[in-house]
Structures are given as structure tokens and as C-alpha cells.
A = this chain, B = another copy of it.
Amino acid sequence: MTRTLGELAIFLGGELQGPADLPIEGIAAIEQAMPREITFITQKRFARLVDRSQAGAFIVSPEYARLPRPLIVVPHPYLAYARLAALFAPAVRRWPGISHLACVEPGVELGQEVSIAPLVFVGAGARLGDRVAIMPGCVIGQGVSIGADTLIYPNVTIRERCTVGRGCIIHSGAVIGADGFGFVPGDAGHLKIPQLGTVVIEDDVEIGANCAIDRGALGATRVGRGVKMDNLVHLAHNVEVGEHALLVAQVGIAGSAKLGKGVALGGQVGVAGHIELGDGVQVGAQSGVNHSIPAGQTVSGSPARPHREWLQIMGHFPKLPDLYQRLKRLEQTVSELSARLKQEQESSK
């Protein structure tokens, strides 16, 4: 696909500086961009690379409006990049219609233009909304409901009766609705508690590769509208994730924990069961949150505490050997002082 720089400036609502007819065939990072590609400057360190860049044009903020290269000046270059990436993205390949190599059980309800690729299983009673696309190797359980425009990449499993909203993207290997981890200890071992609940994924959610989201023990595990989950994230039964939360890779959340709106968890964070993270809580990578956190707080460490406090503690942490040595020296000094004072007192009697 080729566009002119002028067309792109109009598309982005930006100010054109340079030849309107410059042909642009794609978008690339500043170091890799070729003369028929556009790039963008979102950080100072990128600006230093402009001279060496072969890019045909640059998307910049007003700050860089004087660069002697073809430019599109916009208030938010990163946003403009995202929009152009969408423009140049190759269309996702959808299987046209329902493959005769798929296994769709009777009693499935299909919207308009649904795409079901070969080697897919769809169980009885499932409902797939308009333009839903299911890629090869997926298994959609009985009674699952999937909203319009949702895209399910290969080899995803969605177990029976779970629901996925509209406009969601579920990446390969994700498992939605496996049994929660619930047992009653007994003399003859752990007695399984059947997991009767479901998973409810709201609209515009993205779920990363090889994530595992368990169904509720009773009631539902819920993932709110607009939540974005990276790869290999674990959500235990009855977890609730508030709207627009961000869960970075390898996060694990134990049973019945509740995350508020806009919560952001760094990579490899663990959250204990039955606690609550208020709206907007942010948690540093690898932290372990073992108690509820009020809205708006940023916490770090394991166990997690307020981020600034944690920074201060960790700043002193490397001084431990020094601290210990100094304490020992001080004990020695004090002991000598004490002896000298005793001597002094005795001699002055």
C-alpha cells in the first residue's frame, strides 16, 4: 500500500512540512526506516539519530518542527505512530466463512460474516457474534458466547459457558475457563471442589499468549472492559479485574482478589487471594502484594509497601555489611570509652 505524505498528514490531522507527493509505503523504527518509509520521534534519544536515518519522513512533535527533513508535525507522535501502524498493518487473515474442516456442532448460533478456520471445534450452544474470527486449532466449548468482532488466534481454548465480549483479541495458547484450584483437605487426600462458575470477559479485552484464566468456584471470574493482559498471566478463580487494568507478563493473581479500574501490575507480580487493590493502584515488577492497597497508591517489593518507602529501604539495603561493620566498631569504641570512664572515675575518687 502506498500513500503520499500529504495523505498521511491529512489522515493524522497533522501539519505537513515537505513534499505532499512523497510516496510512503510503510512505517519503521528510526534506525531501520528506508527512504519510502516514515518514522517517528517520541524520545530525545531518537532525535539524535535523525541525521543518520534513511527514513523518507518523520512524525514529530512541535518541538522538532524545524528539522530539515520531510515532517508531519502532530501534538502526540506516539499516538500518530499507533494510528499509522494500524493504517499500514496487513489485514489479519481470516478464513472465509466456515471451514468444512472445522467441527461445528449442531445448535451453534452464528452472526454475520463469522470466520471459522479448519481444525476448530465449536461446541453446541455456542454463540459467535458478527465478524468473529476463530483461527485454526481453537476449541470453543459448549454454550460459550463470543461478542462481535472478537479475534481468537490459533490454539486457544475457551471452556464451556464462558463469555467473551465484543472487540476482544485472545492470543494463542490462552486457556479461559479451566477449573479453579479448589480442594478440601481430607484424610484420603484433597477433595476436589467442583468449579461451577464461569469466566466473563468484557469488551475490548486483550489476552496474551499462554495466559490461564480460571472459571469461578461459584459465580464468575471477571475481566473488565478494556483490560490488557500480557503473556503467561494467571488469574485464579473469582478474581475480578477492573476496567482498563494492565497486567504485564507472568503476573499471577490468587483467588477472589479484586483489582480496581486502571490498576497496572508490572511483570511477574504476585497478588494474594481475597485482597483488594483500589482504582489506579500501580505495582512494581516482581512485587508480592499480600494485603489490600488503597486507591491511587504505587507499591513495590515483596511484601509490597509504598514505592517511595521501598526505594528508601532498598537504598539502604546494600549498606548492610557496612552498617554491621560500623556497629561492631562502635561497640568496641563504646566499650573502651566505658572502661576509660570507669578508670577516670576511680582515679578521681
User: Roughly how many angstroms separate A154 CA and B318 CA in the complex, as a whole number?
Assistant: 47
Task: Select the stretch in A5-13, A46-54, A63-71, A247-255 that faces chain B.
Answer: A247-255
A21 within 8 A of B: no
Copies of this chain present in the complex amount to 3
Contact partners of A268 in chain B: CB under 8 A: 252, 268, 270, 288
Other-chain residue from B171, B181, B186 in contact with A228 (beta carbon distance below 8 A): B181
Contact partners of A345 in chain B: CB under 8 A: 340, 344
Interface contact B234-A231, CB-CB below 8 Å: yes
Interface contact B249-A272, CB-CB below 8 Å: no
The count of chain A contact residues (Cβ–Cβ below 8 Å) is 122
Contact partners of A93 in chain B: CB under 8 A: 123, 141-142, 160
Interface contact B82-A192, CB-CB below 8 Å: yes
A20 within 8 A of B: no
Contact partners of A132 in chain B: CB under 8 A: none
Contact partners of A82 in chain B: CB under 8 A: 182, 184, 191-194
A147 within 8 A of B: no
- Determine how close the nearest CB of chain B comes to the CB of A283; give it in whole angstroms: 13
User: Roughly how many angstroms separate A90 CA and B198 CA in the complex, as a whole number?
Assistant: 12
Task: Select the stretch in A106-114, A209-217, A291-299 that faces chain B.
Answer: A209-217
A333 within 8 A of B: yes
> What residue of chain B has the Cβ atom nearest to residue A305's Cβ?
B318
Per-residue contact bits, chain A 131-175, to B (CB 8 Å; 1 contact, 0 not): 000011111011000000000011101011000000001011101
